[in-house]
Amino acid sequence: MMNFCRSVFFVLLLLMAYSCKKPDKPAPYKPRFVVEGWIEKDDYPYVIVTHNLPFFTAIDSAQLAEVVIRYAKVTVSDGTETEVLTGMTDKRYFPYFLYRGTSLKGVTGGNYKLTVTYAGNTLEAETSIPKVTPLDSIWFVPRPKNNVQLNVRFKDAAADKNYYRMYTKLEKAKVFTPTLLSNQNDQYFNGQELQLQVNRGQDNNLTSKHDPYFMKGDTVMVKFSGIPQSGFEFWSSLQDEVLNGSNPLVGSTKALKTNIKGPGVGIWCGYASTIYRVIAQ
Amino acid sequence: MSKPFLVLLLLLLGFNGLAQKVFLEGVVLADSGRKAISGARVSLKSSQQQTVTDQNGYFKIQLDKGKTELRISHMAYAELSTALSLRKDHHRTFYLKTNTQFLNEVQISGDQGILQSNLNNYHLLRAADLEKTPAFLGVHDLIKTIKTLPGIGNGGEGNAGLFVRGSNSGQNLVLFNHSVVYNPSHLLGFFSVFNSNAVEQVKFYKSGIPSEYGGRLSAVIDIKSNQAVADSLRLEAELSVLAASLNLKIPITKNWSFATSMRKTFMNHSVWPIVNRLGNRDESSNQMRYDFYDLNFSSALALTAKDRLFATFYMGADDFGFDIRRFQINNGMDWQNNAASLNWNRIVSDKIVLDNTLSYSGYRFNFGMQQEGFKAGVQSAIRDFSYHSALQVYLDQHQLKAGIDLNQHKFKPNTPFARNGLTDFDYGIANTYFADEGALFLSDDYQFSERLSIYAGLRLTYYRHTGPYNITSEDASVTHFPRSKTLSDELFLEPSFTARYHLNKQTALKFAYSRNVQTIHLIPVTASNFPSDFWMPSINGVPPEKGNQYSLGIFKEWADSGYEGYIDLYARDSKNAIEFSGGIMNLFENLRIEDHIYLGKGKSYGAEFFLKKKKGKFTGYLSYTLSRSERTFAEINEGQVFPFKYDRTHDLSLVSDYKLSPRWNLSALFTLATGNAYTKPVSRYLIAGNVVNEYGAYNSSRMPLYHRLDLSAGYQFHTGKYKSSLSLSVYNVYNKKNPMFNYYMARGSLSSGRVSVQEKSIALLPVLPAINYKVVFR
């Protein structure tokens, strides 16, 4: 038995030594550009260019100030007109600096090509503006504690492939916030009338403050946009990551979609939006 | 041990059949019920030679010519000693009397040596073995006990899966009285669906899968209830903090009996309120609720001395809820396993046994998610009918087995539904798959010489996916295939080979090889092997998984000192292993499951060490596995090799049991394992005011080392006509938080310039004490 035990012991020792050899490779950080661009029907294009950050546990204001790319050449072309966008400060959108056009405006059915060049890198993306779908009706349903819940109804066009995105804000707020489940694909309700109970979304994923309802008497702005497929895929994957990344039962895809070609991620998206102003009651 | 094995092997090939020896073969049956007794030890008084009966009660042993005294023993029966005088090969049937005294106290089957049990390619577990490991909240469990054996990875806290030798949990064939059980766990793996009162024995194969089993790559867990006709009324009742169970056996006539085991938990009134209160202090808190039940019915009928019928029915269901308060999201899951089988066993002659089984398996699963007016969910269902017939023939040195297996499957995986306000989303025609399988198998267990025996088997399977079937293409047009139409089919061969060689009476070497094909797949969707992982059959685009497994081990027994142990080395490879791209939400978006499936290769290898002490007041075992399991997928990790999620570099279990006095009994379980591989963010970016994670190399990070200690103490009361016992158990004694899932939460504000990202873990169970009271009436 002793011999046997000794053999066992040596085999064990050998295997353990073998198994301990590999050091964990540090996870590589790949620097990338991040593009968030939009062109609304009847409005100029807007583009924010930043870069990603290595995974530190805390980000301070110096790092946040440093993510913005200020000296990129950003052009948007609709096939006939090409405009170089101008970098400017805009207090509505973090990091408070964006590129904006002053001549070219979005039209229904238009195709728009975005090109960003910076320090020898070129990023490209294309998008289009789909048809406008109006909301047929907006109303509020009472909820406890003087709250009301937004409800909307619209009719999907059977002949078109449609994707939708919805936002709300209080009239006094600077920017629209996407609703909690903000993206819709007409694959599942093509040609039908769709009635939605709408919950407000969180401002962003940095806060746990979440109030799904409006108060009676609020002046509510509702924005309803038609978006192209690439936009739907991006915003759905973002929603999936934000909502489900912490849910072990559901799990997220762990990779946001993008339509940016080149060393970058993000979204360049056309919107066919209608904005409604309603009083919550 | 250092003797050159090959030389010996060659020598032995020349010395097959020794003079002055005769063979005794026989069948051991219970005198009541005429049930074959498997696992009975047949030994000779004069020498150390011994053997163990197989599932038909059959044994064969080589003896010296002349007078011999034979002893047949089994824990549940009175020992039989008989004198024989043999001049030539002889065949005989032996009957054992039920040992009523022993039936009261279930004993560990320590009498069966490792040389017999492990050389058969399987671990044999009996009801009594389960009672040797500490109970979880007072309940002994089969799958939890299997997880303590070498080579069996524990998926981590809250993971129901069994990960055998680096394979996926869906690559195990789980049979309960001949019926396939698709989801053998009650949620979180803390309990298996097998009520230990309804389990008599379990054969657990992790290498050299015999040819009579088919359809899975990794392992076989063959669970059987007691098939004997009960001879007296027996009632057991059990009560713990979380469950009540009832176990009843009724003899109807001398040859016919009925048994039932029922179990129902009431954790929503005991455990979860406490867990929820303890764990939920901050805003990211979650609420949990969960309960399940099991019903087992069986009836045994001895038609004649040679024909036995055994009918079983199982039904069990779970209901689980998990609420994320942060988003007012309510998740709910419920699922149900059903199984029924009818088995007819006929002893055709002394040397031929015919076994026929008709069986049914059903499984259904519902997942629902609600966020205010938005409701969405998926439903899955499986229905199988199968017929299995095997003929076992005992010839001189051969045990031949031949048979047929017919299976018909219907799968309806992940039928989505969604409703937003008043509108039902239209997901088109649900995916329904019909598939059938026919297999022929033949095997021979050949006792080549006293030292060498060889098992060789072959299984030929024809698999096809048939109509009715609808393919929905991207433009939403539907192509229909009628009932008789074969959409895809495949014919394949699965060989199995095992060679066992005794170096001496107490040491043996074993080599096993098998090639296996798996035609139905468990698609992993969730982070932790939840039941929402779903099954689907092979279709165009999702080919059968194929794999080879090899193992070489040395098995040793120290009979006098009561120790046994083994070292087993293994290697496995597989192709068409499956990973699912995305989460469960992707199932809502796209109906074509095959478009979300990645196929790749798997490879695993490792060394298993097992040492068991069987004698004395202090018994127990230590099992340790050193292993690696890797995968390569063209679409994942840029085609680079990545570790399998349940890759376990180290996996250790220590199970011990101490008999303090005839009434007091203490047991302990310590387990330690490398954490699961997972994908961690390496960078992040800011978009639309959100901080978004960018994930690094697939499965390149590890959860922390998993370790846990459980203790239990049992006390037996003897009070007159009925017997009772009280047990106290503590799960996770030193309150280790073993996280099952990590996620990353960003907090702060971009405008104020301060953002922090916190790593959050979900760990399920803190230290949990429990008390359990059991009464047995006879």
Query: Can you give the pLDDT at residue B116?
Result: 54
Asked if residue B472 and residue B403 are part of one domain, the reply reads yes
d(CA B645, CA B622) in angstroms, rounded, equals 25
CB under 8 A, 24+ apart: contacts of B172-175 = B172/B216, B172/B218, B172/B219, B172/B220, B172/B221, B173/B213, B173/B214, B173/B215, B173/B216, B173/B219, B173/B220, B173/B221, B174/B221, B174/B223, B175/B213, B175/B220, B175/B221, B175/B222, B175/B223
**Within-domain flag for B113:** no
Which one of A247, A258, A271 would you mutate to disrupt binding with B, by most B Cβ within 10 Å of its Cβ? A247
In whole angstroms, how far apart are CA B239 and each of B104, B267, B695?
Answer: 19, 12, 47
Contact (CB<8Å) B420/A51: no
> How many other CB atoms are there within 10 angstroms of residue B662's CB atom?
9
Q: Which two tokens stand for residue B582?
A: 């995305």
CATH code of the domain containing A64: 2.60.40
Peptide bond into A144 cis (omega under 30): no
Mode of pairing for the β-strands spanning B21-30 and B90-96: parallel
In this predicted structure, the answer to whether residue B412 has a pLDDT above a threshold of 80 is yes
Please state the three-class secondary structure of B669-726 as a single string: EEEEECCCEECCEEEEEEECCEEEEEECCCCCEECCCEEEEEEEEEEEEEECCEEEEE
Contact (CB<8Å) B690/A205: yes
Name the more confident of B769 and B374.
Answer: B769
Residues of A within 8 A of B321 (CB-CB) are none
Query: Can you give the pLDDT at residue B773?
Result: 87
Distance from CA of B673 to the nearest CA of A (A): 14
d(CA B194, CA B191) in angstroms, rounded, equals 8
Which residue in the block uniquely carries the two structure tokens 């309990």?
Answer: B191
Range of the domain at A40: 33-128
CA A223 to chain centre: 16
Domain boundary among A128, A154, A183: A128
d(CA B190, CA B183) in angstroms, rounded, equals 13
Residue A83, SS3 per DSSP: strand
Which residue in the block uniquely carries the two structure tokens 């004694």?
Answer: B733
By mean pLDDT, which of B10-19, B27-36, B385-394, B664-673 is the weakest?
Answer: B10-19
Q: Is residue A111 very low, low, confident or very high in pLDDT (cuts 50, 70, 90)?
A: very high
Q: Which two tokens stand for residue B662?
A: 């005839």
CATH code of the domain containing B308: 2.40.170.20
Asked if residue A62 and residue A100 are part of one domain, the reply reads yes
Asked if residue B451 and residue B311 are part of one domain, the reply reads yes
Distance from CA of B653 to the nearest CA of A (A): 16
Tens of pLDDT along A68-78? 999 999 999 99
**Within-domain flag for A7:** no
**Within-domain flag for A209:** yes
Cβ under 8 Å to A: B residues 572-631: 581-586, 589, 607, 609, 624, 626, 628
One-letter amino acid identity for B529?
N
Contact (CB<8Å) B649/A19: yes
Residues of B within 8 A of A2 (CB-CB) are none
CA atoms within 13 A on the CB side of B177: 32
**Within-domain flag for B309:** yes
Asked if residue B28 and residue B148 are part of one domain, the reply reads no
Which residue in the block uniquely carries the two structure tokens 């690559």?
Answer: B171
Residues of B within 8 A of A210 (CB-CB) are 326-328
Peptide bond into B468 cis (omega under 30): yes
Tens of pLDDT along B314-332? 999 999 887 766 666 788 8
Compute the residue count for chain B: 778
> How many other CB atoms are there within 10 angstroms of residue A89's CB atom?
8
Contact (CB<8Å) A51/B609: no
CA B437 to chain centre: 22
CA atoms within 13 A on the CB side of A265: 22
Residues of B within 8 A of A245 (CB-CB) are 693, 743-744
Query: Can you give the pLDDT at residue B99?
Result: 60
Contact (CB<8Å) B333/A249: yes
Query: Can you give the pLDDT at residue A267?
Result: 95
CB B745, CB B711: distance < 8 Å: no
**Within-domain flag for A91:** yes
Asked if residue A165 and residue A147 are part of one domain, the reply reads yes
Which residue in the block uniquely carries the two structure tokens 């000794």?
Answer: A6
Cβ under 8 Å to A: B residues 658-697: 679-697
> How many other CB atoms are there within 10 angstroms of residue B59's CB atom?
22
Contact (CB<8Å) A250/B526: yes
Query: Can you give the pLDDT at residue B673?
Result: 94
Instruction: Write down the ipTM of this complex.
Output: 0.86
CB B668, CB B711: distance < 8 Å: yes
Distance from CA of A111 to the nearest CA of B (A): 23
In this predicted structure, the answer to whether residue B398 has a pLDDT above a threshold of 60 is yes
**Within-domain flag for B115:** no
Asked if residue B192 and residue B61 are part of one domain, the reply reads no
8-state DSSP, B190:
S
Which one of A48, A180, A188, A197 would you mutate to disrupt binding with B, by most B Cβ within 10 Å of its Cβ? A188
Contact (CB<8Å) A64/B755: yes
Which of A128, A126, A190, A197 lies closest to A162 in space, CA to CA? A190
Range of the domain at B33: 5-104
Q: Is residue B37 very low, low, confident or very high in pLDDT (cuts 50, 70, 90)?
A: confident
Asked if residue A152 and residue A247 are part of one domain, the reply reads yes
Q: Pick from B649, B685, B744: which is nearest to A265 by CB?
A: B685
In this predicted structure, the answer to whether residue B283 has a pLDDT above a threshold of 90 is no
**Within-domain flag for A15:** no
Asked if residue B36 and residue B138 are part of one domain, the reply reads no
Domain boundary among B75, B104, B133: B104
Asked if residue A212 and residue A146 are part of one domain, the reply reads yes
Asked if residue A211 and residue A144 are part of one domain, the reply reads yes
Residues of A within 8 A of B635 (CB-CB) are none
CB B773, CB B726: distance < 8 Å: yes
d(CA B649, CA B701) in angstroms, rounded, equals 13
H/E element holding B492? strand B486-504
Domain boundary among A128, A153, A169: A128
Q: Pick from B609, B691, B755: which is nearest to A12 by CB?
A: B609
Find the largest Cα–Cα distance for chain A: 90
Domain boundary among B51, B73, B104: B104
Note whether B749 contacts A: Cβ–Cβ < 8 A: yes
Q: Which two tokens stand for residue A117?
A: 């060049």
Q: Pick from A15, A67, A265: which is nearest to B626 by CB?
A: A15
Please state the three-class secondary structure of A5-24 as a single string: HHHHHHHHHHHHHHHCCCCC
Asked if residue A166 and residue A87 are part of one domain, the reply reads no
Residues of B within 8 A of A205 (CB-CB) are 690-692, 746
Distance from CA of B215 to the nearest CA of A (A): 28
Contact (CB<8Å) B556/A27: no
CA B495 to chain centre: 22
Query: Can you give the pLDDT at residue B30?
Result: 78
Asked if residue B48 and residue B129 are part of one domain, the reply reads no
**Within-domain flag for A166:** yes
Asked if residue B44 and residue B156 are part of one domain, the reply reads no
Residues B236-256 as b or e (16 or more Cβ within 10 Å = b): bbbebbbbebebbbebeeebb
Asked if residue B183 and residue B91 are part of one domain, the reply reads no
**Within-domain flag for B114:** no
**Within-domain flag for B70:** yes
In this predicted structure, the answer to whether residue B97 has a pLDDT above a threshold of 60 is yes
CA atoms within 13 A on the CB side of B444: 8
**Within-domain flag for A221:** yes
Q: Which two tokens stand for residue B429?
A: 């025609």
The total of structural domains in chain A comes to 2
d(CA B687, CA A235) in angstroms, rounded, equals 11
Asked if residue A219 and residue A181 are part of one domain, the reply reads yes
Q: Pick from A61, A245, A250: which is nearest to B753 by CB?
A: A61
8-state DSSP, B28:
E
Asked if residue A144 and residue A116 are part of one domain, the reply reads no
Domain boundary among A77, A107, A128: A128
Asked if residue B627 and residue B546 are part of one domain, the reply reads yes
In this predicted structure, the answer to whether residue B282 has a pLDDT above a threshold of 90 is no
Asked if residue A222 and residue A164 are part of one domain, the reply reads yes
CB B618, CB B658: distance < 8 Å: yes
Distance from CA of B164 to the nearest CA of A (A): 19
Query: Can you give the pLDDT at residue A42?
Result: 94
CATH code of the domain containing B10: 2.60.40.10
Contact (CB<8Å) B423/A243: no
8-state DSSP, B98:
B
Asked if residue B493 and residue B392 are part of one domain, the reply reads yes
**Within-domain flag for B116:** no
**Within-domain flag for B259:** yes
Contact (CB<8Å) B283/A25: no
**Within-domain flag for A265:** no
Residue range A185-189: average pLDDT? 84
Asked if residue A233 and residue A162 are part of one domain, the reply reads yes
Residue range B49-63: average pLDDT? 80
Which residue in the block uniquely carries the two structure tokens 């020898």?
Answer: A120
In this predicted structure, the answer to whether residue B411 has a pLDDT above a threshold of 90 is yes
One-letter amino acid identity for B52?
V
Note whether B331 contacts A: Cβ–Cβ < 8 A: yes
Q: Is residue A254 very low, low, confident or very high in pLDDT (cuts 50, 70, 90)?
A: low
Asked if residue B382 and residue B311 are part of one domain, the reply reads yes
The total of structural domains in chain B comes to 2
Residue range A58-76: average pLDDT? 88
Q: Pick from B331, B680, B757: which is nearest to A57 by CB?
A: B757
By mean pLDDT, which of A137-141, B15-19, B287-291 is the weakest?
Answer: B15-19
Asked if residue B269 and residue B224 are part of one domain, the reply reads yes
Residues of B within 8 A of A15 (CB-CB) are 607, 626
Contact (CB<8Å) B420/A196: yes
Query: Can you give the pLDDT at residue A20?
Result: 44
> How many other CB atoms are there within 10 angstroms of residue A135's CB atom?
17
Query: Can you give the pLDDT at residue B426?
Result: 73
Contact (CB<8Å) A11/B700: no
By mean pLDDT, which of A76-80, A269-273, B681-685 is the weakest?
Answer: B681-685
Contacts with A120 (C-beta within 8 Å, 6 or more apart), sequence order: none
Tens of pLDDT along B194-249? 888 888 888 999 989 999 999 999 999 999 988 888 888 888 888 877 788 899 99
Residues of A within 8 A of B613 (CB-CB) are none
Which of B123, B96, B128 lies closest to B109 in space, CA to CA? B128
Contact (CB<8Å) B750/A204: yes
Asked if residue A275 and residue A142 are part of one domain, the reply reads yes
**Within-domain flag for B60:** yes
- Nearest chain B Cα to A199, which residue? B372
In whole angstroms, how far apart are CA B297 and each of B257, B341, B351, B531?
Answer: 11, 11, 32, 25
Which of B630, B624, B616, B524 lies closest to B571 in space, CA to CA? B630
Q: What are phi and psi of A10, to 5 degrees?
A: -65, -40
Contact (CB<8Å) B329/A243: yes
Which of A263, A59, A67 lies closest to B687 in space, CA to CA? A67
> How many other CB atoms are there within 10 angstroms of residue B688's CB atom?
21
d(CA B12, CA B7) in angstroms, rounded, equals 9
Domain boundary among B59, B77, B104: B104
Asked if residue A144 and residue A275 are part of one domain, the reply reads yes
Which of B245, B222, B249, B221 lies closest to B235 in space, CA to CA? B249
Query: Can you give the pLDDT at residue A253?
Result: 57
